[in-house]
Amino acid sequence: MPEFTIPKTQKAAVVTKTGGSIEIKTDHPVKAQKDLAPGECLVKLDCSGACHTDLHAALGDWPLKATLPLIGGHEGVGTIVAIADHTSKSPVNVGDRVGIKWLADSCLQCEQCRKGLEQCCSEAKLSGFTVDGTFQEYVVSYVNHVTPIPEGIPSDEAASILCAGVTVYRAIKNSQTQAGDWIVLPGAGGGLGHLAIQYARVRGLRVIAIDTGAEKKELCLKLGAEKWIDFKESKDIVKDVLDITGGVGAHSAVVTSASSSGYVQAIDYLRAGGTLMAVGLPGTAKLDASIFFTVFKSISVLGSYVGNRQDAREAIDIAARGQVKVHFASRPLADLKDVYEGMKAGTIAGRVVLDMSKQ
């Protein structure tokens, strides 16, 4: 078993109050191996993806509030450098490369956990929200929930699969579609959307991408979207989708954008028997759709919240085989505040990954 020297302090991005600015600390403490509780492991991170959820946690604009002070981040990849004493039957070992997801831990015994909905466990610990996350060099996580990272995928590519990837993968998997069906992806050029295009194509679906801007259009079409709709240029998005699909509408929509308009439109452009997968999380918006036509068209509306441990392994495996590629920019941890500003402005195409080795 390899041995690692664990420092006493590290670099970390800390939010001390809701809506407050991020402070990059260089003397944040690292938990020693002797202080780890049974079931915990310490991971030395190579990198961490940056997600819209991290921005919401820092701003405090969700109905659920993060635990403060907070180290955000939940798309970390690194090496296990320590496992707690008295940890029984650990599925991972010191030296293993693993990923850390939004769901840091769950009880594994309740009805939700037994049914594969461990992300809905009432005792769930959430990385970068209720427990410290991956915007630091060393993070404490849990042996039963870290995701083994297979060979064939670099750490910085794997990072965004752990949240953005697994989230859209599970939503598409449960979208009640089959090969050849039309699927609409509002927000297709963003961090989740550009991965959704690729996972949809792996499943043989025909993709209608909705977003705005020349850069995002180029990215979506390059990744395999069959049709593109620019929501700033379109006079009627519902009509555009109906025209593309021969007047009957799409089979499914996976709404990853954090605005209510994407949800309302979907009910109108889905065909009879279609499925709306609700993924994006606008903080206070309501789903204001026609009940009459939801019933009349036999529309299914399904919420899809991140993914379970098996979903994560499947999503990572597909990416490791080269069927899904994360388009990302690599930035140092010190740039996190600027990354958040780009998220607020909606100007980031693809994903941002923070490299812990960069200054």
Domain ranges of the chain: 9-163+307-355, 175-303
Q: List the beta bridge partners of residue 339.
A: none
Domain formed by 175-303, architecture? 3-Layer(aba) Sandwich (3.40)
Q: Report the b/e string of 298-334 with b at 16+ CB within 10 A.
A: ebebeebbbbbbebbbbbbebbbeeebebbbeebebe
What is the band of 359 on the pLDDT scale with cuts at 50, 70, 90? low
* Cα separation values, 198 from 96, 152, 202, 322, 323, Å: 28, 18, 6, 11, 7
pLDDT computed for residue 344 by the predictor: 80
The first and second tokens of residue 70, run together, are: 């907070």
* Helix, strand, coil share (%) of the chain residues, nearest 5: 30, 30, 45
Collect all residues with Cβ–Cβ distance below 8 Å to 49 and sequence separation of at least 6. 73, 75, 76, 159, 160, 162, 163, 164, 328, 351, 352, 353, 354
pLDDT for 263 equals 82
What are the tens digits of pLDDT across the range 32-87?
Answer: 999 999 999 999 999 999 988 888 888 888 888 899 999 999 999 999 999 999 99
Q: What tens digit of pLDDT does each residue of 272-316 get? A: 999 999 998 777 778 888 889 899 999 999 999 999 999 999 999
Give the chain's mean pLDDT. Answer: 93
Architecture of domain 9-163+307-355: Alpha-Beta Complex (3.90)
Question: Which 3 state secondary structure label does DSSP give 107?
Answer: coil
Beta bridge partner(s), residue 272? none
Region 256-278: mean pLDDT is 88
Is the sign of the CA dihedral 109, 112, 118, 122 positive or negative? negative
Conformational region of residue 19, where left means phi above 0, alpha means psi within -120 to 50, and beta covers everything else: left
Is the pTM here over 0.75, yes or no?
yes
The closest alpha carbon to 135, from 6, 17, 11, belongs to 11
Q: How confident is the model at residue 101 (pLDDT cuts 50, 70, 90)?
A: very high
- Please say whether the beta carbons of 100 and 135 come within 8 A: no
Range from 13-17, 97-101, 109-113, 273-277 carrying the lowest mean pLDDT:
13-17
Cα–Cα distance for residue pair 275/3, rounded to 1 Å: 50
pLDDT over threshold 90, residue 116: yes
Q: Which runs of E-coded beta strand occur in 101-243?
A: 103-105, 125-126, 138-142, 147-148, 182-186, 206-211, 227-230
HSE, CB side, 13 Å, CA atoms: give it for residue 47: 22
Residue type, 166: V
CA 313, 319, 322, 325: dihedral to nearest 10 degrees?
Answer: 180
Q: Is the dihedral of CA 93, 98, 338, 55 positive or negative?
A: negative
Backbone dihedral angles phi then psi of residue 127, each to the nearest 5 degrees: -65, 130
* Nearest to 164, CA basis, from 187, 143, 145, 183: 187
Phi-psi region of 299 (alpha: psi -120 to 50; beta: other; left: phi over 0): beta
